[in-house]
Amino acid sequence: MSQSTDRDEEARAQILGRLAASREELRRLLDPPHKDLNGGSVPADETRGFPRSRTMQMLMSSRGLTTLGATAAGLLIARPALALRLIRMLPASAFARILLVRGLSAFRANKNNRGD
């Protein structure tokens, strides 16, 4: 009985070792190093900027905001009562500030592109 227990423990240790190695490989593949402002790569655990999560970074990017806007517009068209109820939950001052900053930055970029 002792031999079978030793074999089971050895097999279990090998399986756990392979699982740990495959998890690390998946982590490395799915979470590539982030780029810093200078063009070099920074390991994922050393990022300190906001937002830190990849989901929030995606949502705060221009493509993410476009997707969120399209989803909100679709919801407003399909279910206006639900959309208005959800809009009432948003902090209006923070939302207005975000829109104002984006509008001003777009205006400045447009002004700089025209050469005025």
Distance CA 15, CA 49 (A): 38
Residues in the chain: 116
Q: What angle do CA 65, 83, 51 make, to 5 degrees?
A: 30
Q: What predicted TM-score, i.e. pTM, was given to this entire model?
A: 0.37
Is the N-terminal amide bond of 32 cis, ω within 30° of 0? no
Residue 39 near residue 28, CB atoms below 8 Å: no
pLDDT tens sequence for the chain (116 residues): 567 788 899 999 999 999 999 988 888 877 766 565 555 544 544 455 677 788 878 777 888 888 888 888 898 899 989 988 887 887 777 777 787 888 888 888 877 777 65
Distance CA 34, CA 47 (A): 8
